[in-house]
Chain A
Amino acid sequence: MSLLSIEVLKVSFSTRRGSVEAVRGISLNLEKGEVLGIVGESGSGKSVTSYALMRLLERNGRISGGKLTYGGIDLREARESTMRDLRGREISMIFQNPRAALNPIRKVGHQIEDVLRRHAKATRSSARAEAIKALEAVRIRDAQSRYNAYPFELSGGMCQRIVIAIALACDPKLLIADEPTTGLDITTQKAVMDLIAELIAERDMSAMVITHDLGLAAQYCNRLVVMKDGEVVEEGNPEALFSRPQHPYTRKLVDATPRPGASVRQLLPLDLRPPEPRLPKVEAPLLEVRGLTKTYQGKSGPVHAVKGISFDVGRGESVGLVGESGCGKSTTSSMLVRLLDPTSGEILFNGRDLAKSPAKGFARDPDRARIQMVFQDATDSFNPRHTARQSIAEPLARLTAIPKRERAKRIDELAELVGLPQPLLDRFPHQLSGGQKARVGIARAIAVDPQFLILDEPTAALDVSIQAIVLNLLVDLRTKLGISYLFVSHDLHVVRLLCDRVIVMRDGEIVEEGTAAEVMESPSHPYTRELLAAAPKPPVTVTAERSAAE
């Protein structure tokens, strides 16, 4: 008998616009000792499924049909008190955003104690010792002093360990991990997932890992379930799913997952794949950065965010800037786009040192239109009061002399160029999807014909299939318009798809630089190797078989 069995589960939410079915009759089993991965994009219903079986749905959600059985107990019919006994003791759950998942004004040790005492795994006198043991179990060094820490004093990775400690304190049999690595640096992601895998094996537990990252799921799970729009689309072990995907959606997801060996075109479904792009020839340097430095006055001394870096970007070239959070890449891009003044150094653009022109007045600089940026968080980067059309029109109105009527035509051209349907131009940002907003952001950035475009993690918040489309769009635009790119990202695989050269940053310094192929295949710096090792590796590269077929 399976440990957990879900039969034709239906979950619906009552919203202002009536009842919305988030899960539409899914069935799956989890065997004892198995690590099951549930993969899907946003809106697939994967998280809702886990909330439903823990009976933790929001007030307006309810299980409208189906059967949920855990170890013989009917989870749907069980009393709330039974569920409270099960939670934490038999079935535990961990979530994304670990710092927010901890009580900010309560010591982490006490938070673990609360759970231990609740499920009678410790008494008042033994609770502290047991809590420290729980901290040591998640490999936290110096557990005695960490016990007294508050969440704000700990890093994201450390917080996630605490969350795991709380979840595993009472030795549950089933662990549900809902997007446990979202928001964490890639090396931290690996550390957390490795820890979870070890602990599951040690304690002979079963687990359900919910994620949008197919590669991650494939690496850590025995079996995968793919969900879309509230339904299960396909099931199978990772190798089978990757090499012989049956359902078109699975195929689409597999293709869209960036993996070594695949080109940007190969991210798209076979039938929608245009021919390989003909990239522009790289010429003399457009941008020369020399000794760029940024030092802030921190509360306890100076903070050296960027420590004198130098690099070039050629005309028509696409350069990737890779690093984890805190490495200085965002500060660097802010300085290059002239929103921030460097402490020292030169930014030679077409031979002219832009650093001499202060950020404050750069809006009126003649070079303003030549350097533009595509922002990371599309939602934040649009004025909520402006329609898409108005957002795109803004730089045109301020930086060009194009009369109003011509402007409207230009906006229509841009929309077509980025593949944005005309009618969407008159929508407000909150009425557009993530992918549509990404397109509007790109249209706005290229509206004034820039020579140099900085792309700050433009696809980080997008679903994998949408990311594939947007990345291809960016490649096409570069081919058509000959713009140079600086592509800032934490994801080495994505960067490789789009960039001729790659620069790796760490702690404000450049640790490695070279062509994409060099850096990815034969990295020289240990940090680069660490980054590459941390990225999840899908089991089989489809490309090998596909390109053989083509």
Chain B
Amino acid sequence: MAGRLRTVGLRITHAIPVILGVVVVSFLLTRALPGDPAVYFAGHAADEASIEEVRTALGLDKPLPEQFLIYAGNVLTGDLGQSLSSGQPVLQDLANRLPASLELTLTALLLSCSIAIPLGVLAATRPGSAVDHLCRVLVTAGVSLPTFFTGVMLIYIFYYLLGIAPSPLGRLDFIYIEPDRVTGFYLIDAAIAGDWETWTGALKQLVLPATTLALFTLAPLARMTRAAMLGALSSDYIRTARAAGLTEDKVLFTYAFRNALLPVITTLGMVFSFTLGANVLVEKVFAWPGIGSYAVEALVVSDYAAVQGFVLAMALLFVALNLVIDLTYTLIDPRIGFETR
């Protein structure tokens, strides 16, 4: 147990230089802007005086290392700057829009896991069968699909041609009112308020973008599940289990699947990372008011504080997520922690 705690501690400490690196890179990205950074932060419409104000306010006239310390200090207190377009602190903007992205991403991941994992398991237990071939085709095709293209095509088919899906204009059709904000997740908030009409409305809007994102994540998850199951099933300990007469269910689930879960969880982490990026594209296609579209809009109007804040926030989110996954792994696999003994 002591070994485990030590590993956990080590993993957390390993994250620290990475966080530092992330802050440094974010800092450099803005300071590496061609031209005068103050102009960018002040905005296009700014005049000489306000540019100077911005320059002093942001400390852009100070030497670079000092600027970094100011920047790092700001980050620690949660000050990511001011957004030009909204006039609000960037952190607040991000906090407002994060739930939308999370709701989308989590729904998509849930959807793709519920298809990919059973598919991968089936493909591994029936090699050469129709299911196996389907899995392999899906995987190869899946990794080739550009998310923005799939999104666009899905809109065309289900909205324009078939008329089933609602118009891709965001989280809720304008006839509905946003539920009272508890978590920011419309599905949860509407359910809490008992407002089932809004709940259905939100769900309908969620379907297409979540499916688009799910298609994207389906392929690597199915591929890894299949590979991990195949690996586990061909292991010696499965042979022992079978030779002892254990039922096929026991062999598959308690012995093979649990062992196969480990690499699948690692892949889940990677997939989440890709999704945080693919989010940007899907949000643009479906006009989803999440942090991805926030960043894109900010980019278009050259709202650099917002873009920088977005990059930093996403990276930190990702580090936190990876840490959680690492720790989950540590808890599941008893072999970890043994190495540090």
State in angstroms the CA–CA spacing of A92 and B236 once bound together. Answer: 15
* Interchain nearest-CB distance for A51 vs B (Å): 9
- Determine whether A193 belongs to the interface, using a CB cutoff of 8 Å to chain B: no
List the A side residues contacting B245 at CB < 8 Å.
Answer: 83-89, 115, 118-119
State in angstroms the CA–CA spacing of A104 and B254 once bound together. Answer: 12
A80-116, CB < 8 A from B: 83-89, 92-93, 95, 97, 100-106, 114-115
Instruction: Contact check, A101 vs B240: say whether CB atoms are below 8 A apart.
Output: yes
Instruction: Contact check, A59 vs B127: say whether CB atoms are below 8 A apart.
Output: yes
Q: Which residue of B lies closest to A107 (CB)?
A: B334
**Most chain A C-beta atoms within 10 Å of own C-beta, residue among B241, B254, B340:** B241
State in angstroms the CA–CA spacing of A115 and B254 once bound together. Answer: 13
Q: Which residue of B lies closest to A89 (CB)?
A: B245
Q: Which of A54, A104, A115 contacts B237 (CB 8 A)?
A: A104
Instruction: Contact check, B244 vs A87: say whether CB atoms are below 8 A apart.
Output: yes
List the A side residues contacting B242 at CB < 8 Å.
Answer: 56, 87
State in angstroms the CA–CA spacing of A59 and B126 once bound together. Answer: 11
Q: Which residue of B lies closest to A176 (CB)?
A: B243
- Determine whether B246 belongs to the interface, using a CB cutoff of 8 Å to chain A: yes
State in angstroms the CA–CA spacing of A504 and B304 once bound together. Answer: 73
State in angstroms the CA–CA spacing of A87 and B262 once bound together. Answer: 29
List the B side residues contacting A163 at CB < 8 Å.
Answer: 240
State in angstroms the CA–CA spacing of A104 and B241 once bound together. Answer: 12
List the B side residues contacting A118 at CB < 8 Å.
Answer: 244-247, 250
Q: Which of B243, B332, B338 contacts A88 (CB 8 A)?
A: B243
* Interchain nearest-CB distance for A97 vs B (Å): 6
Q: Which of B237, B241, B248, B333 contacts A100 (CB 8 A)?
A: B237
* Interchain nearest-CB distance for B336 vs A (Å): 10
State in angstroms the CA–CA spacing of A118 and B243 once bound together. Answer: 12
- Determine whether A300 belongs to the interface, using a CB cutoff of 8 Å to chain B: yes
List the A side residues contacting B334 at CB < 8 Å.
Answer: 105, 150
* Interchain nearest-CB distance for B260 vs A (Å): 11
Number of interface residues of B (CB under 8 A): 28
Instruction: Contact check, A115 vs B244: say whether CB atoms are below 8 A apart.
Output: yes
Q: Produce 1/0 per residue, B324-341, CB < 8 A to A.
A: 000000001111001111
State in angstroms the CA–CA spacing of A85 and B242 once bound together. Answer: 11
- Determine whether A296 belongs to the interface, using a CB cutoff of 8 Å to chain B: no
* Interchain nearest-CB distance for A159 vs B (Å): 11
State in angstroms the CA–CA spacing of A167 and B244 once bound together. Answer: 7
- Determine whether B318 belongs to the interface, using a CB cutoff of 8 Å to chain A: no
- Determine whether B258 belongs to the interface, using a CB cutoff of 8 Å to chain A: yes
| A166 and B255 contact, Cβ closer than 8 Å, known pairs A100-B236, A105-B333, A152-B338 | no
- Determine whether B239 belongs to the interface, using a CB cutoff of 8 Å to chain A: yes
A156-215, CB < 8 A from B: 163, 166-167
State in angstroms the CA–CA spacing of A248 and B257 once bound together. Answer: 49
B235-281, CB < 8 A from A: 235-237, 239-248, 250, 254-255, 258-259, 262
Instruction: Contact check, B341 vs A101: say whether CB atoms are below 8 A apart.
Output: no
State in angstroms the CA–CA spacing of A444 and B332 once bound together. Answer: 47
* Interchain nearest-CB distance for B299 vs A (Å): 46
Instruction: Contact check, A105 vs B239: say whether CB atoms are below 8 A apart.
Output: no
State in angstroms the CA–CA spacing of A172 and B241 once bound together. Answer: 15
Q: Which residue of B lies closest to A119 (CB)?
A: B245
| A56 and B259 contact, Cβ closer than 8 Å, known pairs A86-B245, A87-B244, A105-B334 | no
- Determine whether A299 belongs to the interface, using a CB cutoff of 8 Å to chain B: yes
Instruction: Contact check, B335 vs A152: say whether CB atoms are below 8 A apart.
Output: yes
List the A side residues contacting B335 at CB < 8 Å.
Answer: 104-105, 150, 152
List the A side residues contacting B247 at CB < 8 Å.
Answer: 84, 118
Q: Which of B237, B243, B333 contacts A93 (CB 8 A)?
A: B243
State in angstroms the CA–CA spacing of A100 and B236 once bound together. Answer: 6
Instruction: Contact check, A114 vs B250: say whether CB atoms are below 8 A apart.
Output: yes
Additional pairs, 15, CB under 8 Å, beyond known A87-B244, A105-B258, A115-B244: A54-B243, A84-B245, A95-B236, A97-B236, A101-B236, A102-B237, A103-B241, A103-B259, A104-B259, A106-B255, A115-B246, A152-B335, A152-B338, A163-B240, A166-B244
Residue contacts A-B, CB under 8 angstroms, 18 given = A84-B245, A84-B246, A84-B247, A88-B244, A88-B245, A95-B236, A95-B240, A103-B241, A104-B335, A105-B332, A105-B334, A115-B245, A118-B246, A118-B250, A150-B334, A152-B335, A163-B240, A299-B339
3 A-B pairs with the lowest CB-CB distances in the bound complex, closest first: A87-B245, A88-B245, A88-B244
Interface residues of B (CB under 8 A from A): 127, 235-237, 239-248, 250, 254-255, 258-259, 262, 332-335, 338-341
